[in-house]
Chain A
Amino acid sequence: MLIELQNLIPEPIPQKIVEASKVWGTNLRFETNSNILVSAQSGMGKSTLLHIIYGLRKDYSGKLLIDENNIRKHSYQEWENLRKQSISMVFQDLRLFQHLTARQNLQLIPEVNASSPSIEEMTAQLGVENCLDQSVFTLSHGQRQRIAIIRALRKPFRLLLLDEPFSHLDEENQKYASRLIQEVIKANNAGLILSSLGSSPALSFDQQISL
């Protein structure tokens, strides 16, 4: 998926940040199938960028093009299809269903990417296989983060958006998660945009941007 930013400025962001930013108010291209790292301190608009790409925020000026289409013109239906088949996202607040078990959370997606590893394989790789039948409510934040990553990887996608996905993972677990992510992205022939507070995860990136 080719992402192009044309003079994109989110509305509530202070002018000072825009002037200092290498993303806001500039023209920028994220090439198809490339892995992008967006790093910045808190409050610079990392999540905002991912939310705009995922169609959750419309309060910006300028343009954002996905595969040369202005996303502002996407219909409700088009967004539905994009989220179902083309873009998968792990939110900072994970958005898991706490009243369901981990397994139910992993099963509750509209479509499964058949080429992605099974629930058992992925949970085993990330060391959460024993949590599967526990209610998400009882899991630690780190465990929830891994479940959310697996859920996102189970969906079909051509672009994966990860919003600070490793904030509660130790280095060892970050490594496992990075490996799994890399593997699935490759299998899907997809791109990645990952936001981080500063530390660089153990993933190879084609482009690193600090906001």
Chain B
Amino acid sequence: MIVKPSFNKSILQTCLQVTSPRKELIIASLGCLIGTTLLLLALQLYQDAQSYLKENEGPKNYFTINKKVEGVALVNLGKKEESFSKEELDNIRNLDGVKRIGGFTRNQFPLTLYIWPTGKIGLGAAAKTDLFFESIPDEFLDFIPEEWDWEENSSLIPIMVPKFYLDLWNFGLAPSRVEYPSLSNEAATGMPIEVFIGKNREATLDGRFVAFSKRINSVLVPESFLTWANKRFGQPDSGDFYFLWKEGAIDGPPHSREQILEMKNEPGFASWEVSPLNNPADRSPISSITRILDKEIQPSRIILEVVDSPSPALLQFIKDQGYELNREFPKQDLIKKVLIGLFIGVIGIGTLLSLLSIATFASSYRLVIAKSAEHARNLLLLGFSNQQISQVFFASFTRLFFVILILTLVVGLSGKSIIIERAREIGITINELVSPNTIFFLVLYAIVYLFINKRVIDRSIHDLL
């Protein structure tokens, strides 16, 4: 017996074509559209937020530590205890979870600032304040402002202060003083600042706020400026001059640290003593000076970048060493937590809607098959296979599903474009429209969705005979 396949697909389709349950299919399609769009957007935006946070203030975790400042230790020689020794820095650097550390450099000269909120020097009232400058290596800044360059003979010192200084001005100082106007970011960066250096104002330089840091809780200037200024204007204060005691008696006028150190090789040096200028009777061994000298260049405050949140081991170490920890703007963590919560919520709703739509599709297609059950059964009796018949229903489902997927992409991407536009308005740049991860997820999702419905259709046909 010679057999040839006769089976004509279009007749098979015509045979099985019946009016579909429109209402159920529309509900299922809408559910699928909304659910999939939510899932897609949530996933994509989560990745966008992650990469944005990573590129900007992101998951980097910063905090500063310093040694505890005791009241009495502030006097004279006690000051030396503030700084970290080389070994201590190495210990911290090698701690688990620490990515890198950087030291704060401080100004070694008196500093007074006149800030002119009117935008013109000599016009209106200036806010006058004694202040300090600090600098850290550029890589620890949350961003490097355009004007963050300083070279010798530059006319302007770029200054970066915490954003909340501006808030303090606007919500604290300005409302209480008629002569101080409220300042926008732009107005604040436009204010001329006179920087007076030295006790007797030996030098006057011009400065300007160039940016507001959200990370570093300090008044920052470029490292290059501070290094130069410390060299040029840095002067030993009373802490750097000592009475020198030889064999129980004061030896001549006060000596500077350098002068004392130069006498290192003289006989009996180790037995000499020193005392501070304002308290000549408070003698201490000469070794206290030489020790300070070794450590003097070390910073007293350091900034740490850790891999994630500080580990319990790290916190314990800091506690054991008696350091003080100052978390720099832990707000980032909060934002991250809120974002994650939000995305989990949206993903949850999207998943729920998708599951419901799968269930609705399943029952809709059971209904479609039930409506053409008589024809499908007769086809099975004629010898058509389960596969051949379910294929007809599955093809119609697949067509519908792909239309929904395309609509999902259109709706999702339009949503994304709007979000990108909005984000740009507030200064956040989101690069890509869809990430490969999202595409991968969508493909996987489509496969699972199709697979589940294929099974439902197969089973429904199978149960006909």
Q: Interface on A for B, CB 8 Å cutoff?
A: 54, 56, 76, 80, 83-85, 89, 91, 95, 97, 99-100, 104, 107-115, 151, 154-156, 188-189
Asked if B462 is an interface residue, CB under 8 A from chain A, the answer is yes
The interface-forming segment of B79-87, B229-237, B375-383 is B375-383
Is the pair B6, A111 in contact by a Cβ cutoff of 8 Å? yes
Using CB atoms and an 8 Å cutoff, list the residues of chain B in contact with chain A.
1-8, 11-12, 14-15, 375, 378-386, 388, 462, 465
Contacts A80-B383, A85-B383, A95-B378 given; indicate if A111 touches B3 (C-beta within 8 A): yes
Contact of A155 among B383, B385, B386, B462 (CB under 8 A): B383
Which of B1, B6, B14, B15 meets A110, CB within 8 Å? B6
The residue from B1, B8, B375, B386 contacting A76, defined by CB atoms under 8 A apart:
B386
A-B contact count (CB 8 A): 82
Instruction: For the A-B complex with A112-B3, A114-B3 known, give 18 more contacts whose Cβ atoms are closer than 8 Å.
Output: A80-B385, A85-B3, A91-B381, A95-B378, A97-B375, A100-B14, A100-B15, A104-B14, A107-B6, A107-B11, A108-B7, A108-B11, A108-B379, A109-B6, A110-B382, A111-B5, A111-B6, A114-B2
Chain B neighbourhood of A91, CB < 8 A: 381
Residues of chain A with a CB closer than 8 A to B380's CB: 80, 83
B464 smallest CB distance to A (angstroms): 11
Residues of A within 8 A of B378 (CB): 95, 97
Bound CA–CA A97/B372 (angstroms): 11
User: B385 contacts which chain A residues (CB < 8 A)?
Assistant: 80, 84, 110
Q: How far is the CB of B152 from chain A (nearest CB, A)?
A: 89
Q: Are A109 and B386 in contact (CB under 8 A)?
A: no
Residue of A nearest to B12 (CB): A108
Smallest beta-carbon distance A138→chain B, Å: 17
**Contact in complex: B386, A111 (CB < 8 Å):** no
Q: A109 and B7: CB pair below 8 A?
A: yes
Query: In the complex, what's the smallest C-beta–C-beta distance from A98 to chain B, in angstroms?
Result: 10
- For residue B12, which residues in chain A have a CB less than 8 angstroms away from its CB? 108
Q: Determine the chain B residues whose CB is within 8 A of the CB of A95 once the complex forms.
A: 378, 381-382
Q: Identify 8 residue pairs between A and B in the complex whose beta-carbon atoms are under 8 Å apart, listed by A's number.
A: A80-B386, A83-B383, A89-B381, A107-B11, A110-B7, A111-B3, A112-B3, A114-B1
* Residue in chain B with minimal CB distance to A79: B465
Q: Which of B4, B14, B382 contacts A83 (CB 8 A)?
A: B382
Given A108-B382, A109-B383, A156 and B14 contact (CB-CB distance below 8 Å) = no
- Point out the residues of chain B lying under 8 angstroms from A155, CB to CB: 382-383
How far apart sit A108 and B366, CA to CA, in the bound complex (Å)? 24
Q: Which residues of A contact B14 (CB under 8 A)?
A: 100, 104
Query: Chain A residues near B462 (CB, 8 Å)?
Result: 76
Which residues on B sit within 8 Å (CB–CB) of A83? 380-383
Q: Considering only CB atoms, which chain B residue lies closest to A97 in the complex?
A: B15
A13 to B379, CA, bound (A): 29
The 7 lowest CB-CB distance pairs between A and B, nearest first, are A84-B383, A114-B2, A112-B6, A83-B383, A95-B378, A110-B383, A156-B3
Known A-B contacts A108-B12, A108-B15; A113 and B386 likewise in contact (beta carbons under 8 Å): no
